[in-house]
Structure 1
Amino acid sequence: MDPMVITLARQAGQALVAAMASDAWLAVRDGLTRLYGRMGESRAAEVANALEDSRRTVLEGGSPPEVVATRWQGRFEAMLEVYPEQSEGLREVIVRATSEVDVDPGQQFRVGGAATVLGNSQIIAHNSGGGTIWP
């Protein structure tokens, strides 16, 4: 797979999780739903439900943010493999998410009990054992 696609998918997964605990959530959720809707109405409904389930899981601490980001990275990679023309739309959602999250590099926020640092379009999550997980 093209390294640029992998990078885009990784950044999208990270931006998505960062947006889950911010005011940007609705715009990001709706943007991704519209993006998948271009591939069929049933896909849009499926993705909208999956996004809400993922957000609930993260906010309730059911899964660490970095795990959810990695799952969505895989979904985005699969989507871009079949629909490479959607890369610009995904990029636009990322830009919107990162601009609306409005987090200074190095600033921490909490999602589901995990401290997360967002900076330079990268999330670094600290696990409960104290080590650093690099997505």
Structure 2
Amino acid sequence: MFRGDRARKRRLELGLKLPEVAELTGKAKSTIAGYEKEETPGKYFRTPLAKDLSKLADALQTTSDYLIDRTDNPYNPHINLLQYIKYEKDFTIGGKTMSENDMNFLIRTLENIANLPSKSENQTDEIKSNK
């Protein structure tokens, strides 16, 4: 079931206003507001169609699964793998649950990779040093 409260929470976490989400999704501001408005507990004024749910998830940098309550992890691994992994408590690779030490090692490794200069930065430094 669609969770408009999660859409609102993500929108606010990202610092987005209704008109910005409307523009990103191609929907009217009132439609986005309707997705977030609860008529009765757990029932929202509007529920997005599947194609619109995907656009809404993209705009909110999350997944459709999060918005329909199939996961509690709000992070989209295609956008921010590191945040996604940090959020997960039990992470499996090849059917085996990783130990806490292995998870910490994986997180440190990804943080180190994220802090490496990009290839284009290295090329710029090389060009400057050759002058």
Q: Which has the higher contact order (CA 8 A, sep 6+)?
A: 1
Q: Give the TM-score taking structure 1 as reference length.
A: 0.28
Q: Give the TM-score taking structure 2 as reference length.
A: 0.29
